[in-house]
């Protein structure tokens, strides 16, 4: 039976990825500073965990040596606002941590790493539709660390033949995303609070536009890229696109599914202006051509599934 190691396995994307891989018959090992026995029980005996920090070389090396994975899904990272409050911690976890994963894979012969990058690896100088190979000038420490890690992965591919593959996610929405998890968290919290019958004030403007991707599609994209035929890949890092929506369009879509949703607008200038510094939409045509990428859920289907999960 094949086995996958997921760094940041108890994180937002890692949990969905773990359950999808387990349902497909894989053994899954989660590497994280956190732990959650209740979640592990949901894995039907196929999901286990090793506790440790990406910034600790010995712990990363031990986790890779003990788990002996066929591939590593590298999702672990220090996210904003923590990464911006402590750039040093972000450097140690995100950049040194990625180096540790790459070097352990090289030394132990792990053939493939699939990395979770981000649209914020680009800066405010991007065109409305951002080409896959557009220059990356991020403003945040988080985005800067992602650019560095993309280049590290490409170096390990050129120098050592390590099969490094990466996806650049737009804003991810789905059950479990914390309200404090960045400027675009309102796209998740608005749906989750509405599904629970709670009112929610969106801190964005009605016209605030965000490129969003459902968390299940984000996890599935990493699985799809991992299984893609190597000869078809023309890049190591691929843009992904989900659904381009204004905050008002998102509210309309939620109310079509939850007619009584109590959603209002209370714009926060920091959030409104912050989102304007993010790329508007990533051009994912290369991912679609090279490995057949496409989201499984349209916006309505994603919200319907989101609501079902919250209520169940």
Convert the pLDDT of each residue in 186-238 to its tens digit: 999 999 999 999 999 999 999 999 999 999 999 999 999 999 999 999 999 99
CATH of domain 172-212+242-280+296-311: 3.90.25.10
The pLDDT score that the predictor gives to residue 180 is 67
44, 25 contact by CB (below 8 A): no
The CATH T-level fold of domain 3-170+215-239 is: Rossmann fold (3.40.50)
CA 170 from chain center: how many Å?
A: 8
Q: What does the pLDDT look like over 138-170, one tens digit per residue? A: 999 999 999 999 999 999 999 999 999 999 999
Taking the C-alpha atoms of residue 206 and residue 270, their distance in angstroms, rounded to an integer, is: 15
Residue 1 predicted with pLDDT over 90? no
Identify the band that residue 80 occupies on the pLDDT scale cut at 50, 70 and 90: confident
Domain segments of the chain as ranges: 3-170+215-239, 172-212+242-280+296-311
Q: What percent of the chain has pLDDT over 70?
A: 99
The pLDDT score that the predictor gives to residue 293 is 98
Same fold, 3-170+215-239 and 172-212+242-280+296-311: no
CA 94 from chain center: how many Å?
A: 14
Q: What does the pLDDT look like over 11-22, one tens digit per residue? A: 999 999 999 999
Burial category of 62 from C-beta neighbours within 10 Å (exposed 0-12, middle 13-18, buried 19 and up)? middle
The pLDDT score that the predictor gives to residue 179 is 67
Identify the band that residue 183 occupies on the pLDDT scale cut at 50, 70 and 90: confident
Identify the band that residue 271 occupies on the pLDDT scale cut at 50, 70 and 90: confident
Q: What is the mean pLDDT of residues 256-275?
A: 92
């Amino acid at each position: 039976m094949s086995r996958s190691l997921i760094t940041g396995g108890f994180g937002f994307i890692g949990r969905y990825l773990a359950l999808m891989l387990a349902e497909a018959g894989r053994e899954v090992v989660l590497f994280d500073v956190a732990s959650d026995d209740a979640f592990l029980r949901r894995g039907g005996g196929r999901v286990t965990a090793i506790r440790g920090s990406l910034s600790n070389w010995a712990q990363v090396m031990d986790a890779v040596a003990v788990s002996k994975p066929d591939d590593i899904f590298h999702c672990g990272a220090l996210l904003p606002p923590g990464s911006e409050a402590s750039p040093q911690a972000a450097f140690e976890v995100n950049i040194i941590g990625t180096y540790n994963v790459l070097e352990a894979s090289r030394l132990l012969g792990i053939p493939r790493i699939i990395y979770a990058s981000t649209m914020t690896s680009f800066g405010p100088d991007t065109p409305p539709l951002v080409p896959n190979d557009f220059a990356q000038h991020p403003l945040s420490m988080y985005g800067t660390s992602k650019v560095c890690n993309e280049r590290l992965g490409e170096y390990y591919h050129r120098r050592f033949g390590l099969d490094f593959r990466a996806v650049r996610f737009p804003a991810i929405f789905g059950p479990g995303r914390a309200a404090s998890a960045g400027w675009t968290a309102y796209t998740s919290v608005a749906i989750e609070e509405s599904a629970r019958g709670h009112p929610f004030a969106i801190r964005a403007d009605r016209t605030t536009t965000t490129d969003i991707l459902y968390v299940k599609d984000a996890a599935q994209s990493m699985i799809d890229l991992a299984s893609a035929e190597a000869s078809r890949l023309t890049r190591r890092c691929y843009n992904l696109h989900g659904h381009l929506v204004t905050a008002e369009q998102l509210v309309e879509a939620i109310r079509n599914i939850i007619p009584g949703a109590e959603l209002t607008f209370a714009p926060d200038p920091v959030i409104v202006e912050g989102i304007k510094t993010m790329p508007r939409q990533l051009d994912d045509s290369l991912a679609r051509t090279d490995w057949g990428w496409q989201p499984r859920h349209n916006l309505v289907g994603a919200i319907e599934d989101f609501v079902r999960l919250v209520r169940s």
